A = this chain, B = another copy of it.
């Protein structure tokens, strides 16, 4: 009998630890290739470019389909390809990952497509893909000896850090702008960590965060442990391939904020091919942005390599990074694979949210609307093949971004409580 309990609760004391070695051996500079030991650092001291994890190819090569399938029904089934979390007893996990890959036949029909799937990451514990990166980052933080974890955020990241720290008994310090909506403040504060409202805008919050990182021995999830954090996004690539029956999709559409997620999905597909876990079939990676924050789409359209910063102004707050760190890498992936990066207006984003909900019963956040609306645009412009198997990524939950819908939505009708009023409003059978 297969024990499903084990797959649900891998952190229980009676769960046998899998014998998986940590394949991460150091950090390397993405620009100049300088190498460093595994440590809480994210910038090359030679050239100031970002660092990433480097792996021992022999250790990665030990991972098999079977070893993955024996693992838990969460992102830790891929621990042999990740840089932290190898000791289940010290792992920080609320069970993120292994979210549904939903066939989307009704959306496909409406868009004239053949085969379409939604990778629905709103099913994560705090309902966004940030749970993946936070789970890996906090596991690394604990292994590196930190007892306090911190971040600056205006939304998904704040809630995810506070929740994972609470579940693991770590201290958390989350910094947010003081004018954040009350709902977002309480959905982070409820976990009982330290929640600091900063009298300033998000840039001020970020600047203070960098100062604090120099002052305190804390793990800042997207600063000093960022190389570990970013690797968590690879699991969104691994899972799609495994859920398709160990093969790569032909096309994927991924929303772009920092650009990290898109590049990590590509990295994951590449790794699986190199390791022989899937056939290295060709795939095209498309990037989705909002017109109100489109630095990468603009560079793609202009055919340039440099990403000019913009000042974000869009309802897609979770994608509002005006100066995306991984923008150039995302451009490179889209061009190399034959994809594209486009953008859509706020009205199109709202229509994208409604289209996904109306056809598939999936209520994605504004970022999901960005992805669906860009899918539609890519089809309209003939950039994406409607006959090729396509996966789109929904990275968060509509319950977290209700405001723009409140301003534009409402009931079908408002009536008096009588059968007569109901019929008079034309609400009965056609």
Q: Which residues of A contact B (CB under 8 A)?
A: 1-5, 8-9, 11-12, 65-66, 69, 73, 94-95, 100-103, 106, 123, 125-127, 148, 159, 163-169, 173, 176, 178, 182-183, 185-187, 189-192, 194-200, 204-205, 207-208, 211-212, 215-217, 242-246, 353-354, 357-363, 397-400, 402, 405-406, 409-419, 422, 425, 427-429
Contacts and interface: CB of A to CB of B under 8 A. Distances in A.
Which 4 pairs, one residue from A and one from B, show the smallest C-beta to C-beta distance? A167-B361, A192-B358, A204-B417, A200-B417
B411 A243 contact: no
Contact of A65 (B1, B215, B363, B406): B1
A402 B178 contact: no
A395 to B, nearest CB: 16
Contact of A178 (B126, B164, B215, B414): B414
Nearest to A117: B9
Given A5-B101, A196-B411, A398 B187 contact: yes
A185 B402 CA distance: 10
22 contacts: A2-B69, A9-B243, A106-B167, A125-B362, A176-B411, A178-B411, A182-B406, A186-B410, A189-B405, A190-B354, A190-B363, A191-B358, A191-B363, A196-B412, A196-B413, A197-B415, A199-B415, A199-B416, A199-B417, A200-B416, A208-B417, A215-B419
Contacts of A211: 419
Given A123-B123, A185-B410, A363-B187, A106 B197 contact: no
Question: In the complex, which of the residues A66, A106, A192, A399 has the most CB atoms of chain B within 10 Å of its own CB atom?
Answer: A399
A410 B187 contact: no
Nearest to A200: B417
Contacts of A428: 215-216
Contact of A102 (B95, B207, B363): B95
A427 B69 CA distance: 44
Nearest to A408: B186
Question: In the complex, which of the residues A167, A244, A245 has the most CB atoms of chain B within 10 Å of its own CB atom?
Answer: A167
Tell me how many chains of this kind the complex includes. Answer: 2
A415 B194 CA distance: 13
Nearest to A124: B123
Nearest to A413: B196
A163 B120 CA distance: 15
A9 B106 CA distance: 15
A417 B198 contact: yes
A165 B361 CA distance: 7
Nearest to A211: B419
Question: In the complex, which of the residues A195, A204, A417, A418 has the most CB atoms of chain B within 10 Å of its own CB atom?
Answer: A417
Contact of A429 (B148, B205, B363): B148
B186 A405 contact: yes
A192 B357 contact: yes
Nearest to A430: B171
Contacts of A4: 69, 73, 242-243
A115 to B, nearest CB: 10
A364 B4 CA distance: 24
A167 B102 CA distance: 11
Contacts of A186: 402, 405-406, 409-410
Nearest to A409: B186
Contact of A5 (B176, B194, B243): B243
Contacts of A412: 189, 194-196
Question: In the complex, which of the residues A8, A185, A212, A416 has the most CB atoms of chain B within 10 Å of its own CB atom?
Answer: A8
Nearest to A358: B192
Contacts of A95: 100, 102
Given A363-B190, A400-B399, A3 B245 contact: yes
Contacts of A212: 419, 422
